[in-house]
Amino acid sequence: MADALNMSEAVLPAADSPRPRRSWRFRHLLLALNVAAVAVALLLWWAATRFGWVAPVFLPAPGDVLHAARITLASGDLLTDIAVSARRVFLGFALAAIVAVPLGIVMGVWRPAKAVMDPFVSLLRPLPSITWIPLSILWLGIGESQKIAIVFMGSWIYILLYTYESTRRIDPLLLRAARNLGASDLAIMWEVILPGSLPGIITGLKVTLAISWSCVLSAEMIAAQNGLGALIWQAKDWGNMPLVLVGMLCISLTVLVADWLMLRIERALLPWERGRRG
């Protein structure tokens, strides 16, 4: 018995194990690598413009981009364009999720629904959002509803596919076990299918959110007077390349903020995933 206790003490990690400290150091090392990579990229950008490796017409200097950003921020136009584009993206994205997530779950658990939807998915999946712009302008004009419709048409099919695949990948043994224990169809849906498919669904939503931004930008560049896409297109017409880069950087920063928010939501909805992913 004493030998068994000694063996168990040898196997179990000590309370003062250095693993948390090593994990803390590793996270800070990764953060330092992130900062160093950005610093090196900015240094190369500055050197390329400072020493004439790249003409300013193709790549403005970092100082020129900062100057254009300060001017646009001071006028209030930049924040307005960010807010307009973000509203269009999140409204279209929310509508796409409301439609596609339940439909994808139904397709995953009920084969007749998949048989009905398969032809439409096969026809619509290859079409990029920009192909819907002429029809959407004809049907809806060039107002806000047209921009939201473009985001919806460019997003819902990907959310649908991610949701369907996540639902289909649930272990059938879990479903059989729940049925053998006497669970009803509603209980199986709520206790087995939804928790099992939710990680994949949230991953699909995060990926599709970035796609939604590309959809709204294509719509704004063609038929809009405001928004980040319109800002970039108008700056291109004026030959203002620093302002073009300001618009591009704002898109990237806005998507990073959205990803951060999605990560917070994911951690709140999936507490059981924290340890495994860590």
**pLDDT more than 90, % of the chain:** 32
pLDDT given for residue 201 in this prediction:
92
pLDDT given for residue 149 in this prediction:
93
pLDDT given for residue 102 in this prediction:
94
* Domain ranges for the chain: 16-55, 60-269
What pLDDT, in 10s, does the model give residues 94-143? 999 999 999 999 998 888 998 999 899 888 888 888 888 888 888 988 88
pLDDT given for residue 22 in this prediction:
65
| 14 pLDDT more than 80 | no
The pLDDT of 167-183, averaged and rounded, is 84
Reported confidence tier of residue 276, pLDDT bands at 50, 70, 90: low
Reported confidence tier of residue 273, pLDDT bands at 50, 70, 90: low
- pLDDT, the chain, mean: 85
Q: Which of 62-66, 154-158, 191-195 has the lowest mean pLDDT?
A: 191-195
Question: Which of 138-147, 172-181, 186-195 has the highest average model confidence (pLDDT)?
Answer: 138-147
Q: Which of 3-7, 67-71, 162-166, 217-221 has the lowest mean pLDDT?
A: 3-7
pLDDT given for residue 277 in this prediction:
54
- CA 39 from chain centre, in angstroms, equals 25
Q: Is it true that domain 60-269 has CATH number 3.40.50.2000?
A: no
| 255 pLDDT more than 70 | yes
Reported confidence tier of residue 50, pLDDT bands at 50, 70, 90: confident
